[in-house]
């Protein structure tokens, strides 16, 4: 730890003006600049909410919940344990940009911090003291940052994204902690990057820098001086806007970096590289300014450009009003289609509104594939089941993910087996044909947070399956997040109509995947393949869906 304390370098990323301006992508892109130079990095994210993890949040509020391969047993104090594998969606961006799997302890929430301190007080950890935000909460935050920094392989640079916006009450203890930490480490080993929004006013043909000035002033009022200001804007900033920001924010002009709208987000590290942000940061941190090796990344970005073809994939579901609800799925579809020189158009279908078969036949008439989404609960479910029924009937390529696979089986039971009222017990506990039911281990579970079957698990594919052909291997590992599963006693009877079980868990008790022999591409998986998809390493299942979609399109148009 001592040597870490003497060598660690930190980049703290804060945000101003608005939330949701791409701080995550900016942080991941800066990490990439360091990777281009062969430096080892680790990214942490602080979320100032009181939840222990985002697992119980509605994705409409906070976007998708990202699932890690590893599970972290969080022990706020001896005698208390919480399993964590569900973390903020920005970690998906970090994994996709850096290619490094994250550990759930890299996501620090206010809930974890306060719980540790409050339970610690009961244990007697602070005997004699009045327990306060400063120093007890701030010390706990700093401890967590050091703990995450100290994991092997020891990184050269630790990047810490601070969620929320500067000025939020919730974020104050975190900003205070990083101020203290920067002073302890030494200002020459710390860089503060502030990400802001710079609106462009077409009526006057001008960028407006005032919101940025205000948010930097708020930051300065907390004792934090940004070293770099990254400006989200419609287009590249003009020199005069840059000059103004530099002047008011007290930084050199070359440290005002544009983060303009770009067609492919994976281009951002290259745009930063062009603006010399990589060498600005390494010089600032006192690192050797090695040359950046960007060839592989340039090739990846190129594959996303100039698609020769288009496929339309429908996504029927209930969280369609926020694109980020299915962030990793969208990215996985992009990765797979780019690899095939194809552009993917996603057609969202809100199944609470579009729920009967007639509507869905109409909505699905001009799509080339269906991805039935993960989810929970009863809202929008009948529409999802009917969308799966249309895929069976019209032979539209179909990939059901988790809830999507479960509801696909419900559709199969109702429409091909004739089992009226078949359902998942998640929605209808009195169903006559409960084809999807709670896993045994879940039957006694009472708490809702962190208690699903979560994280990475081994999956064993049947060698005769189509799935095996897609993966080209028998033993795989995928990430899960579920309480319910397909009930074998029912699913095995579906074989008479062509449904095959394609994969199990190693114990042979949980069906992990099903496929249909009488359909060109109809697959349901209990896991979430999207969490493992990378821009240059698309997931075989998503590749399969896009390929099948291209074939279907050719047929549909012939």
Minimum distance of ligand GLN from residue 374's CB (angstroms)? 3
Q: 160 and 46 in contact (C-beta within 8 Å)?
A: yes
Residue whose token pair is 């896991």: 527
- Minimum CB distance to ligand GLN smaller for 190 or for 381: 381
3-state secondary structure of 388: helix
- Minimum CB distance to ligand GLN smaller for 29 or for 512: 512
Minimum distance of ligand GLN from residue 101's CB (angstroms)? 20
Minimum distance of ligand GLN from residue 396's CB (angstroms)? 21
Binding site for ligand GLN (CB under 6 A): 374-376, 402-403, 426, 481-484
- Minimum CB distance to ligand GLN smaller for 236 or for 382: 382
CA neighbor of 311 nearest in space, from 8, 544, 44:
544
Q: Residue 135: is the preceding peptide bond cis (ω within 30°)?
A: yes
For residue 9, count CB atoms less than 10 angstroms from its CB and return exposed for 0-12, middle for 13-18, buried for 19 or more: buried
Minimum distance of ligand GLN from residue 456's CB (angstroms)? 15
**Residue 427, phi then psi, degrees to nearest 5:** -105, -40
Minimum distance of ligand GLN from residue 244's CB (angstroms)? 47
What's the CA gap between 229 and 217, in Å, rounded? 12
Minimum distance of ligand GLN from residue 354's CB (angstroms)? 20
What's the CA gap between 55 and 59, in Å, rounded? 9
Q: In whole angstroms, how far apart are CA 354 and each of 312, 360, 367, 391?
A: 18, 6, 15, 15
Q: 405 and 524 in contact (C-beta within 8 Å)?
A: yes
Minimum distance of ligand GLN from residue 503's CB (angstroms)? 16
Q: 482 and 505 in contact (C-beta within 8 Å)?
A: no
- Minimum CB distance to ligand GLN smaller for 66 or for 403: 403
**487 alpha carbon, distance to own chain's centre:** 29
- Minimum CB distance to ligand GLN smaller for 319 or for 419: 319
CB atoms within 10 A of CB 211: 15
- Minimum CB distance to ligand GLN smaller for 329 or for 360: 329
Minimum distance of ligand GLN from residue 437's CB (angstroms)? 10
- Minimum CB distance to ligand GLN smaller for 381 or for 392: 381
- Minimum CB distance to ligand GLN smaller for 55 or for 173: 55
Minimum distance of ligand GLN from residue 394's CB (angstroms)? 24
Minimum distance of ligand GLN from residue 412's CB (angstroms)? 17
**474 alpha carbon, distance to own chain's centre:** 27
**430 alpha carbon, distance to own chain's centre:** 35
- Minimum CB distance to ligand GLN smaller for 329 or for 355: 329
Please state at what angle helix 90-98 crosses helix 327-339, rounded to 10 degrees. 30
Residue whose token pair is 């939330």: 19
Q: 64 and 92 in contact (C-beta within 8 Å)?
A: yes
What's the CA gap between 389 and 395, in Å, rounded? 10
Q: In what side-by-side order are the strands of the sheet with 511-516? A: 342-350, 309-317, 369-372, 398-401, 522-525, 511-516, 499-504, 453-461, 475-482
Q: Which residues are catalytic?
A: 402, 528, 530
CB atoms within 10 A of CB 394: 15
What is the 3-state composition of the chain as percent helix, strand, coil, each rounded to the nearest 5?
Answer: 40, 25, 35
- Minimum CB distance to ligand GLN smaller for 131 or for 448: 448
CA neighbor of 74 nearest in space, from 483, 450, 480, 456:
450
Concatenating the DSSP letter of every residue in 393-435 gives HHT--EEEETHHHHHHHHHHHHHTS--TT-EETTT-TT-SSEE
For residue 2, count CB atoms less than 10 angstroms from its CB and return exposed for 0-12, middle for 13-18, buried for 19 or more: exposed
């Amino acid at each position: 730890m001592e040597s870490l304390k003497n060598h660690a370098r930190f980049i703290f990323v804060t945000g101003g003006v608005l939330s949701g301006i791409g701080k995550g992508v900016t942080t991941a892109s800066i990490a990439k600049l360091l990777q281009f130079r062969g430096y080892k990095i680790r990214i942490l994210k602080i979320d100032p909410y009181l939840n222990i993890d985002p697992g119980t949040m509605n994705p409409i509020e906070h976007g998708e919940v990202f699932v890690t391969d590893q599970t972290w047993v969080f022990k706020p104090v001896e005698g208390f344990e919480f399993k964590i594998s569900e973390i903020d969606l920005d970690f998906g961006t970090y994994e996709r940009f850096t290619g490094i799997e994250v550990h759930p302890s890299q996501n620090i929430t206010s809930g974890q911090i306060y719980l540790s301190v409050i339970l610690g007080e009961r244990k007697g950890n602070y005997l004699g003291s009045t327990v306060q935000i400063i120093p007890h909460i701030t010390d706990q935050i700093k401890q967590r940052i050091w703990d995450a920094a100290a994991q092997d392989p020891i990184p050269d640079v630790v990047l810490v994204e601070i969620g929320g916006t500067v000025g939020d009450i919730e974020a104050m203890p975190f900003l205070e902690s990083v101020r203290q930490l920067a002073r302890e480490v030494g200002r020459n080993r710390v860089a503060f990057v502030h990400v802001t929004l710079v609106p462009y006013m077409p009526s006057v043909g001008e960028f407006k820098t005032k919101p940025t000035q205000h948010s930097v002033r708020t930051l300065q009022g907390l004792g934090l001086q940004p070293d770099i200001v990254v400006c989200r804007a419609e287009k590249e900033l003009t020199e005069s806007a840059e000059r103004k920001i530099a002047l008011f924010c007290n930084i050199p002009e070359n440290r005002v970096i544009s983060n303009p709208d770009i067609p492919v987000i994976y281009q951002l590290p290259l745009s930063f590289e062009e603006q010399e942000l990589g060498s600005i940061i390494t010089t600032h941190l006192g690192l050797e300014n090695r040359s950046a090796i960007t060839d592989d990344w340039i090739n990846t970005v190129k594959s996303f450009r100039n698609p020769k073809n288009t496929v339309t994939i429908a996504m029927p579901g209930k969280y369609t009003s926020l694109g980020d609800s299915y962030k990793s799925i969208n990215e996985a579809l992009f990765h797979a289609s780019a690899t095939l020189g194809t552009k993917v158009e996603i057609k969202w279908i809100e199944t609470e509104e579009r729920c009967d078969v007639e509507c869905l036949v109409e909505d699905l008439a001009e799509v080339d594939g269906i991805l039935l989404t993960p989810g929970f609960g009863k809202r929008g479910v009948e529409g999802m089941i009917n969308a799966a029924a249309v895929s069976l009937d019209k032979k539209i390529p179909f990939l059901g993910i988790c809830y999507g696979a479960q509801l696909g089986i419900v559709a199969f039971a109702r429409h091909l087996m004739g089992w009226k009222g078949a359902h998942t017990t998640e929605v209808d506990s009195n169903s006559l044909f409960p084809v999807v039911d709670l896993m045994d281990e879940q039957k006694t579970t009472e708490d809702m947070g962190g208690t699903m079957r979560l994280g990475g698990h081994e999956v064993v594919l049947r060698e005769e399956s189509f799935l095996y052909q897609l993966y080209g291997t028998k033993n795989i590992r995928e990430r899960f997040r579920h309480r319910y599963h397909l009930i074998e006693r029912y699913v095995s009877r579906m074989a008479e109509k062509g449904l095959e079980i394609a994969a199990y868990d190693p114990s042979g008790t949980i069906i992990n995947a099903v496929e249909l022999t009488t359909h060109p591409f109809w697959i349901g998986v209990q896991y979430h393949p999207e969490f493992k998809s990378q821009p240059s390493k698309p997931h075989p299942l998503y590749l399969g869906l896009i390929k099948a979609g291209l074939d279907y399109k050719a047929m549909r148009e012939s």
